[in-house]
Amino acid sequence: MRPASDVPVRPASDVVVGADGCPRCPWGLSTPEYVAYHDYEWGRPVRDTVGLFERLTLEAFQSGLSWLTILRKRSAFRAAFAGFDPAAVAAFGSADVDRLLADAGIVRNRRKIEATIVNARAVLTLDHPLEELIWSFQPEPTGRAAPATLADVPAKTPESVALAKGLRAAGFVFVGPTTAYALMQACGLVDDHLSGCWVAGGVG
């Protein structure tokens, strides 16, 4: 039976089948970098301090830019920020800021560079490991339906608002609810692979 004409019809899913026959979230097909990131990294749990600090930093640098830009500069970011070792970055001074502002391999934004150093120092002053702080804001996974379409994926949630507030209370800067939610997606606190995507439900 056909639905009434005034009832919007939504697609079952926005997933797209790639040339290899695997159904994926549509954003994960546009470039080889996105395919690799989508298939083997995005949404998979990250539970170590260095890994979380890296992703927190890169999500902050991504603000206002394409994520593909950040992916393509990732190796340069790692070299510039001492492999994202918080202790090493926390020791950066004004000469390091000048060095980073002259580094064409990264995004040369003074506010974001200085925020990274502030955040590294915040990591070192935490009473508990960074992973404990971040993962304490993981939403209850049971009962959370996989999004069917890109429109079903939120930009922020109550948990990301709380995470951003918790990070700021701990001395972190340049992190708002949207950046916090992107961090949650990237690090596996939530699984926002679309239903039908070959990765969905298998990243935990």
Cα–Cα distance between 147 and 169 in angstroms, integer?
31
Q: How far is CA 30 from CA 37, 155, 199, in A?
A: 11, 21, 17
Catalytic one among 27, 67, 114, 131? Answer: 67
Which one, of 132, 72, 145, 57, lies nearest residue 105 by Cα?
72
Count how many Cα atoms sit within 13 Å of the Cα of residue 133 in the half-sphere of its side chain. Answer: 25
Catalytic one among 34, 37, 135, 198? Answer: 37
Catalytic one among 34, 42, 54, 59? Answer: 59
Q: How far is CA 23 from CA 107, 109, 175, 196, 204, in A?
A: 33, 37, 32, 7, 19
3-state secondary structure (DSSP) of residue 77: helix
67 assigned to active site? yes
Cα–Cα distance between 118 and 110 in angstroms, integer?
12
Catalytic residues, by residue number, are 37, 59, 67
